[in-house]
């Protein structure tokens, strides 16, 4: 417990008043109501107030007890800044008259609910959109204010703040996401203490942990030295809910700490082939107003190839990621529309997803997995924007084999038109040139934490008359909370007995059948490695 210095102890109004009276000659009238008493009383009040503020100065000067802007100032002394709120993003669909135009910056909103005091959440469109011949158009949106409040469910956005001619309706077909609240005092204090208590040594584990946690959306990380051999560092990240981070967050960390190799190529680089493929200059949301169009043709498939891809990539062995920037005329299609992947000419087959993997580096996607617009999310830089593109394929390259990107418009879907704006290639490892935070010569790879699903099966014995569904839901929530608490802890194994105790501690549960209680089809603890995170999977109550 903090001990106040003597000069701040016993500094009440009464104590100060008594000390001042005691310092005066005894032959003076010092009774309450006397001239002397009345003269000293206001001073005693102010001196007591001054002592209170002196204690406050001390409190606000130490990270363990300070708050708000004072904590910001303390952190700034060590180069630490509070993470700002992040605005949620998504997409909105307008419907109305063909050719109707919606300007960039148009405000749309959710409905307010006065009954529960829920305000309307406003978003703005990030680019212009013109309704297509079907009377529909989709565009990126961003919340006006940062924070988790911008993460709204599908179809929650229904309002145009200002009516627009030719527009009959507006809604978000998918939930908006990515909104994060401003970093709170507790999280900022934790980062400060981690920084000052960790010895920085030009790229040690403490440095990497400090750098990782400076990126918005990161809740923690496992730093793995020599992860892929000498001179390499593996970083595995979780989000603020302590679940494996999204690939977008992992890539943001990668670019911040140790930028990867990148290559952006426009549609004009690809060689067209087959049927139904042509250059289209009418798509207004294409970055350079040019894209490849893949229309259905009953005469055969359409293709586009990036030949001699290996000549364009830096000669660096490792795992790479290819992200084609597609859009479709409609996301309704459920049959396979497009196949894309990396062909290895040197081995006469698809490249693999890893050096020892047998999985082909190829993806097949229906229209429902794509977007109906080119997504730049407010950034015209494809490298930044590509983190939000919905499809990609990882491929391993030894730095020598001859590679080719192959895109094929399949014939299963006979109605959807496909467009390609550009293609982004990114290494899943750093350039090791010291452009970010990491030292020169270190090869850094940032990935989401490896997810270990925990499937649980159990037979419950509950009190008669109990709400079984409520009990089951409570147990699931407790399971999830327990597993989350283990994320990147030193002792992160999932304990069989702890899960059993959670069941017994739930109100309404009398007992459970231990002979039928299994986690991942076992009655043993689940071992979780340092770069892994246990995540609740299927829970089956029998």
- Name the one residue in this structure whose structure tokens are 């080119």: 374
Q: Are residues 270 and 376 in the same domain?
A: yes
The arithmetic mean of pLDDT across residues 487-515, rounded, is: 96
Q: Are residues 274 and 366 in the same domain?
A: yes
Q: Are 361 and 353 within 8 A, CB to CB?
A: yes
Which residues, 6+ apart, have CB-to-CB distance to 350 below 8 Å? 341, 342, 343, 344, 360, 361, 362
pLDDT tens sequence across 172-185: 999 999 899 999 99
Q: What values do phi and psi take at 438, rounded to 5?
A: -70, 150
Q: Are residues 212 and 315 in the same domain?
A: no
Q: What angle do CA 289, 176, 425 make, to 5 degrees?
A: 45
Q: Quick one: pLDDT band at residue 195, thresholds 50, 70, 90?
A: confident
pLDDT tens sequence across 196-216: 887 777 789 999 999 999 999
The answer to whether residue 312 scores a pLDDT higher than 50 is yes
The answer to whether residue 6 scores a pLDDT higher than 90 is no
Tell me the C-alpha distance between 248 and 243, whole Å: 14
Q: Are residues 458 and 443 in the same domain?
A: no
Q: Are residues 31 and 123 in the same domain?
A: no
Q: Are residues 406 and 479 in the same domain?
A: no
3-state secondary structure of 331: coil
Q: What is the torsion angle, in degrees rounded to the nearest 10, for the CA atoms of residue 493, residue 497, residue 503 and residue 509?
A: 180
pLDDT tens sequence across 28-69: 999 999 999 999 999 999 999 988 888 888 888 888 889 999
Q: Are residues 441 and 457 in the same domain?
A: no
Supply the pLDDT for residue 113.
86
Q: Is residue 421 part of a domain?
A: yes
Q: Are residues 426 and 303 in the same domain?
A: yes
3-state secondary structure of 291: strand
pLDDT tens sequence across 475-494: 999 999 999 999 999 999 99
* Strand 136-143 relative to strand 122-125, pairing: antiparallel
Tell me the C-alpha distance between 343 and 127, whole Å: 36
Mean pLDDT of the chain: 93
Q: Is residue 188 part of a domain?
A: no
Tell me the C-alpha distance between 67 and 74, whole Å: 10
DSSP label at residue 82 = P
pLDDT tens sequence across 110-119: 999 888 888 9
Supply the pLDDT for residue 1.
46
Q: At what angle do helices 185-197 and 205-212 cross, to 10 degrees?
A: 160
Supply the pLDDT for residue 52.
87
Q: Is residue 237 part of a domain?
A: yes
Supply the pLDDT for residue 427.
98
Q: Are residues 420 and 320 in the same domain?
A: yes
- Domain finish residue from 154, 171, 188: 171
Q: Are residues 383 and 470 in the same domain?
A: no
pLDDT tens sequence across 430-471: 998 888 999 999 999 999 999 999 999 999 999 999 999 999
The arithmetic mean of pLDDT across residues 273-296, rounded, is: 93
Q: Is residue 71 part of a domain?
A: no
Q: Which residue from 192, 187, 182 is spatially nearest to 220, judged by alpha carbons?
A: 187
HSE (side-chain half, CA atoms, 13 Å) at 289: 2
The arithmetic mean of pLDDT across residues 125-136, rounded, is: 89
Q: Are residues 49 and 116 in the same domain?
A: no
State percent of the chain over pLDDT 70.
98
In the chain, how many domains are there?
5
Q: Is residue 180 part of a domain?
A: no
Q: At what angle do helices 35-61 and 68-76 cross, to 10 degrees?
A: 50
Supply the pLDDT for residue 200.
72
Q: Are residues 109 and 25 in the same domain?
A: no
The answer to whether residue 401 scores a pLDDT higher than 80 is yes
Which residues, 6+ apart, have CB-to-CB distance to 505 below 8 Å? 478
Q: Quick one: pLDDT band at residue 275, thresholds 50, 70, 90?
A: very high
Q: Is residue 81 part of a domain?
A: no
Q: Are 141 and 124 within 8 A, CB to CB?
A: yes
Tell me the C-alpha distance between 198 and 223, whole Å: 14
Tell me the C-alpha distance between 80 and 46, whole Å: 37
pTM attached to this predicted model: 0.80
Q: What is the span of the domain harbouring residue 28?
A: 6-61
- Name the one residue in this structure whose structure tokens are 């307010």: 112
Distance between start and end Cα atoms, the chain:
51
The arithmetic mean of pLDDT across residues 137-145, rounded, is: 93
The answer to whether residue 520 scores a pLDDT higher than 60 is yes
Q: What angle do CA 25, 26, 29 make, to 5 degrees?
A: 95
Q: Is residue 191 part of a domain?
A: no
Q: Is residue 83 part of a domain?
A: no
Angstrom CA distances, 3 to 6, 59, 206, 536, stand at 9, 12, 32, 45
């Amino acid at each position: 417990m903090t001990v106040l210095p003597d000069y701040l102890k016993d500094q009440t109004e009464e104590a100060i008043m008594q000390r001042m009276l005691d310092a005066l000659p005894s032959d003076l009238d010092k009774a309450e109501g006397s001239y002397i008493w009345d003269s000293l009383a206001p001073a005693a009040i102010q001196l007591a107030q001054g002592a209170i503020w002196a204690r406050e100065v001390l409190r606000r000067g130490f990270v363990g007890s300070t708050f708000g802007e004072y904590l910001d100032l303390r952190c700034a002394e060590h180069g630490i800044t509070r993470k700002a709120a992040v605005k949620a993003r998504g997409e909105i669909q307008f419907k109305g008259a063909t050719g109707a135009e919606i300007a960039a910056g148009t405000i749309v909103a959710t409905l307010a609910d006065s009954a529960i005091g829920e305000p309307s959440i406003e978003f703005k469109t990030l680019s212009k959109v013109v309704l297509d011949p079907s009377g529909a158009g989709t565009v990126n949106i961003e919340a006006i204010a940062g924070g988790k409040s911008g993460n709204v469910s599908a179809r929650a956005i229904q309002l145009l703040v200002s009516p627009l001619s030719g527009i009959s309706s507006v809604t978000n077909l998918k939930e908006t996401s990515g909104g994060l609240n401003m970093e709170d005092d507790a999280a900022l204090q934790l980062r400060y203490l981690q920084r000052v208590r960790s010895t920085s040594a030009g790229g040690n584990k403490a440095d990497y942990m400090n750098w990782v946690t400076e990126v918005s959306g990161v809740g923690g990380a496992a730093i793995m030295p020599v992860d892929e051999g000498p001179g390499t560092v593996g970083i595995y990240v979780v989000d603020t809910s302590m679940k494996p981070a999204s690939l977008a967050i992992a890539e943001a960390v990668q670019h911040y700490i140790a930028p990867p190799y990148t290559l952006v190529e426009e549609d004009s680089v690809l060689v067209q082939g087959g049927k139904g493929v042509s250059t289209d200059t009418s798509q207004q949301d294409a970055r350079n107003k040019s894209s490849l169009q893949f229309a259905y043709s009953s005469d055969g498939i359409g293709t586009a190839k990036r030949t001699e891809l290996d000549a364009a990539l830096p000669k660096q062995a490792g795992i790479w990621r290819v992200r084609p920037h597609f859009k479709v005329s409609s996301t309704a299609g459920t049959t396979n529309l497009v196949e894309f992947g990396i062909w290895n000419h040197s081995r006469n087959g698809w490249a693999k997803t890893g050096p020892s993997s047998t999985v082909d580096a190829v993806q097949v996607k229906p229209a429902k997995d794509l977007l109906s617009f080119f997504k730049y999310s407010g950034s015209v830089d494809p490298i930044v924007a590509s983190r939000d593109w919905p499809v990609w394929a990882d491929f391993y390259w030894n730095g020598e084999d001859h590679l080719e990107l192959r895109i094929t418009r399949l014939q299963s879907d006979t109605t959807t038109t496909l467009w390609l704006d550009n293609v982004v290639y990114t290494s899943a490892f750093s350039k090791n040139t010291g452009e970010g935070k990491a030292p020169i010569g270190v090869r850094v790879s940032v990935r989401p934490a490896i997810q270990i699903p925990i499937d649980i099966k159990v037979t419950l014995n509950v009190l008669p008359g109990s709400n079984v569904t409520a009990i089951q839901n409570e147990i699931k929530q407790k399971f999830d909370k327990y597993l989350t608490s283990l994320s990147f802890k030193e002792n992160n194994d999932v304990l069989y007995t702890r899960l059993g105790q959670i069941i017994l501690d739930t109100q309404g549960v009398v007992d459970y059948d231990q002979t039928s209680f299994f986690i991942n089809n076992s009655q043993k603890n689940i071992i979780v490695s340092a770069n892994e995170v246990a995540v609740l999977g299927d829970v089956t109550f029998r």
